[in-house]
Amino acid sequence: MSESQSVGFKAIRSPNLVDQVADHLTEAIIVGRFTPGERLSEVGLARSLGVSRAPIREAARLLESRGLLVSQPRRGFFVRALDASELEDIFDLRLCLERHAMERLAHACTAETLAALYRQVGVLCDAAASGSESRRIEEDLTFHRMMIEATGNRRLLKNFDDLAHELRLCITLITKTHEDPDSIADCHHLLLDALESGEPARCREAIDYHIGVARDFVVRSVGESRPLARPH
Amino acid sequence: MSESQSVGFKAIRSPNLVDQVADHLTEAIIVGRFTPGERLSEVGLARSLGVSRAPIREAARLLESRGLLVSQPRRGFFVRALDASELEDIFDLRLCLERHAMERLAHACTAETLAALYRQVGVLCDAAASGSESRRIEEDLTFHRMMIEATGNRRLLKNFDDLAHELRLCITLITKTHEDPDSIADCHHLLLDALESGEPARCREAIDYHIGVARDFVVRSVGESRPLARPH
DNA sequence: TCCGGACAAACTGTCGACAGTCGGCAATCG
DNA sequence: CGATTGCCGACTGTCGACAGTTTGTCCGGA
């Protein structure tokens, strides 16, 4: 986010221009450089990034499949604007995926994965203490991603990764959080304690509570701030 | 599947060439016109479909996001070849999504949706009686799609639709089914009875059994036939 | 003042072409 | 005889350009 977006955006990451454009656009959307509902001009993006329209179009298709953009035929691509209903859907789906992961892990969770998850709670708390909101969100998502990954179901993980992009989209809506690291640690240790107990009912209870808190936080936050989808 | 694939593939459906190409490729993959793992040449496809490479590439990206193709940088696109592990993942994810839908519906399922689902079981049985394997699969998927749709969660539905493409990919692997319509009807009425009872535990039991049967059928079928991913 | 139509600008959909890269084959060397 | 290296063909990644459509604006009339 410190590099300029007009000339060259670090060209040494992937040999694939499409992925670079996709990463760049993703970041721009998440940090709010584009307003929700904004129309993205292909030629404008191509000019500002110094590339042709073809990579732009393919990257846009990629981001559309991830739910960050929506396309209208003959109109172009627009930054996805979430309304309250979609917000509910997203967190409901997250609950669906994570419940499943918790249940799978309740039956079979190795000591190593549990230890790794405990460590991740540590780095999450560090991130929260650092005051960087984006870092905190990212480490939080990493924790949950590790849980999904521990199930060994890569298809499930792919769905979670896609959903994570939309969850990041939510952070452009919330105002401020400044939660203290201790409560964050408690909140996540609750999940790990449930997993360690191996009781499915307790696991389910824990994840329901955890995601319910997150959902309430987001919907309350957007309720206080501006309306989600403002008319152009 | 009766029209030629060399010249023009019915040009009067969508004004969007990309969608037409995507539909065409999807069908070609599902009916097994391409073998799993086969490399798709962009120029070859463009020539045989009579279009440029740009729509081919964008359609391929779309199908990649749906899990029908996989891309290797500088190598091109390949038809997704499912191994046994991925098969397990797919059905596990399906269980995840449908369990969630069943639970949501157990609490609130209107009489209309129940009636619509009963009707769909009827058309599913008709399709099974007709002897057309592809029709039976399609109507079966429609039934489950309607269940998901009844939850009102469109994000959940999108995930199911994506997964449905991979489920269709599975039918290229199975040998033969010739299940009789009666058992199919019983199998689905079990789900609806559970929904009507409103008992979550019974709903969960029913969907677990239902999907377990489908999964066992597929993995057994592929075990009997050829190996899934043959080495090039 | 307001509404309708026509014109112009901008944009998307699609195409053909060029350059860089990868895989396969053959000739050469140890 | 086997391994290596150079070359050739094919293909993907990317680009600029043209055509059709949408959008915004301006002008005329009621």
Residues of A in contact with B54 (CB under 8 A): 54, 57
Same domain as A43, residue A100: no
Among A79, A107, A124, the domain boundary falls at: A79
Q: Other CB atoms closer than 10 Å to residue A176's CB: what's the count?
A: 7
Distance CA B120, CA B211 (A): 18
**Whether residue B5 has pLDDT greater than 60:** no
Maximum Cα–Cα distance across chain A: 56
What value does the mean pLDDT take over residues A31-40? 92
Mean pLDDT of chain B: 87
- What is the distance between the alpha carbons of residues B43 and B2, in angstroms, rounded to a whole number? 24
Q: Is there a domain that residue A175 lies in? A: yes
| One domain for residues A71 and A143 | no
Domain range enclosing A114: 84-224
> Each residue of A125-176: pLDDT tens digit?
999 888 888 888 899 999 999 999 999 999 999 999 999 999 999 877 776 6
Average pLDDT of the residues of chain A = 87
Query: Does A118 fall in a domain?
Result: yes
Asked if pLDDT for residue A197 goes beyond 80, the answer is: yes
A96–B93 CB contact, under 8 Å: no
pLDDT at B192: 96
Residues A69 and A100 in one domain: no
Total domain count for chain A?
2
CATH label of the domain that carries residue A130: 1.20.120.530
Q: Are residues A43 and A151 in the same domain?
A: no
Do B42 and B136 belong to one domain? Answer: no
pLDDT at B180: 80
Most B CBs within 10 Å, among A71, A83, A86, A93, to test the B interface: A93
Q: In this predicted model, what pLDDT tens digit does every residue of B84-129 receive, in sequence order?
A: 999 999 999 999 999 999 999 998 899 999 999 999 999 999 998 8
Q: How many Å lie between the alpha carbon of B182 and the closest alpha carbon of chain A?
A: 32
As a whole number, mean pLDDT of residues A14-30 equals 90
A6: pLDDT strictly greater than 90: no
Type of residue at A207: I
If one counts every other C-beta atom within 10 angstroms of the C-beta of residue B66, the result is: 19
CB atoms within 10 A of CB A174: 17
A93 Cβ under 8 Å from any chain B Cβ: yes
Strand D footprint at Cβ < 7 Å? A 16-18, 50-55, 74-75; B 39-44, 53-54, 57, 71, 73-77
| C1'-nearest nucleotide to the CA of B60 | D12
DSSP string, A23-77: HHHHHHHHTTSS-TTPEEPHHHHHHHHTS-HHHHHHHHHHHHHTTSEEEETTTEE
Strand ranges (DSSP E) for chain B? 39-40, 69-72, 76-79
Angle at B20 between CA B18 and CA B24, to 5 degrees: 115
